Amino acid sequence: MRVALGALGLVVLLAAPAAAADWGQIKPAVSTLADVRARYGAPTRETPQQIDGYDTLQWTYEGAQAPAGIAKMIVEFGLLTPSGYKKDVVRAFRLEPKPDIFNRKLVVDGWGPPSRIGKEGDLEFFLYEQGLLVYFSQDAKQVLVMIFTPPQKLPPAEPAAPRPPQR
């Protein structure tokens, strides 16, 4: 999962605002620090970071400060756009829902069929071009993590390996 998150993080740093997947009135590449504070209040923890030489900020909401049904929400600020760096704009956010809050059906009902389906170790994931990555539990029913980003241009899918003829 770390490899996918790292690769996704690199792609997200240089993004243009477009129709992103959103949740809880947070929209990557559109929402600002002030928008998030107005909606969710002060974070449980605020962590300054530096990514590729840019000062960024990470807000963590957990416990009583997390949104209803969510164990932890992490919001990352600082987005490099074609018009320059915007330190107060949401780059990405991550939801770690409580058990039985999000399941596979709710994800498909809410965001439609995924652009890609993959597997990382024992975990299946959905990847959406509009900027959503969803990891499912080992039974592939419950959502473990949802990561919202600006839209992602996905390369064409690789063709499946040809199967030998059956005899």
pLDDT in tens, 31-43: 999 999 999 999 9
pLDDT of 76 above 90: yes
Give the pLDDT confidence of 10-68 residue by residue, as tens digits.
333 333 334 567 898 899 999 999 999 999 999 999 999 999 999 999 999 999 999 99
What pLDDT, on a 0 to 100 scale, did the predictor assign at position 146? 97
What pLDDT, on a 0 to 100 scale, did the predictor assign at position 155? 76
Lowest mean pLDDT among 6-10, 73-77, 110-114: 6-10
Cα–Cα dist 91/70, whole Å: 20
pLDDT of 78 above 80: yes
Report pTM: 0.80
pLDDT of 113 above 70: yes
pLDDT of 167 above 80: no
In DSSP terms, 125 is beta-bridged to 118, 135
pLDDT of 156 above 80: no
